[in-house]
Amino acid sequence: MMKQRTPFSRKENHSANVRHKDKTVNLTLWDTAGQEDVIQDYDKLRPLSYPDTNVFVIAFSVVSRTSLENAQGKWYPEISLHSPNTPFVLVGTKIDLRDDMKEVEKLKREGTEPITRKEGEEMAKKMKAYDFCECSAKNKTGLKEVFATVIEAYINPKKTKEGGSRSSCQLI
């Protein structure tokens, strides 16, 4: 008999103390991607965790226009509705695939091309993101920049200036 899987049985968050400009910040990352197939009502449940979030990361694949459209059309409106004063960083992922000939050819056959850094920057500006970064988890390009930018958004938010020192940061 197979054991039934509980929807939230896998680890969904990661926490680490990170040094940034002579400060130690406890960085907690929550990955909400991929839950929609586990629980049909996840779109209703996910926002319940937003009030405790200090910085959001809205990520999209630079080889998927649909992914960028979802960043603008789904994720940005959702966090704007439920957490309007919380900064977010727009992050283009999979930048290594811009130079992958198989991927570029596949996109050409589909009548499209990779999203450029300039397009990402323009979208971040349009969405009023704290900043825009790009990275590749595969070759570890830009990862430090992403985390540094997220921590900076937490320590020095542009729109929600708050006094005092912060030492813990939760991201979704």
Indicate the average pLDDT of the chain: 82
Q: With helix as H, strand as E and coil as C, how does the chain read?
A: CCCCCCCCCCCCEEEEEEEECCEEEEEEEECCCCCCCCCCCHHHHHHHHHHHCCEEEEEEECCCHHHHHHHHHHHHHHHHHHCCCCCEEEEEECHHHHHCHHHHHHHHHCCCCCCCHHHHHHHHHHHCCCEEEECECCCCECHHHHHHHHHHHHHCCCCCCCCCCCCEEEEC
Q: What pLDDT sits at residue 5?
A: 39
Rounded to an integer, the average pLDDT of 54-61 is 93
Domain ranges, ordered by start, for the chain: 61-157+168-172
Select from 3.40.50.2020, 3.40.50.1370, 3.30.1330.40, 3.40.50.300 the CATH code of 61-157+168-172: 3.40.50.300
Lowest mean pLDDT among 34-43, 63-72, 84-93: 34-43
On the question of pLDDT at 46 being above 80, the answer is: no
Rounded to an integer, the average pLDDT of 131-151 is 94
Confidence of residue 41 (pLDDT cuts 50, 70, 90): low
Rounded to an integer, the average pLDDT of 126-141 is 95
Structure tokens at 86: 């919380």
Q: What pLDDT sits at residue 134?
A: 98
Question: Model-level pTM?
Answer: 0.80
Q: Which is more confident, 35 or 126?
A: 126
Q: What pLDDT sits at residue 67?
A: 93
b (16+ CB within 10 A) / e for 89-112: bbbbbbbbbbeeeebeeebeeeee
On the question of pLDDT at 159 being above 60, the answer is: no
Confidence of residue 3 (pLDDT cuts 50, 70, 90): very low
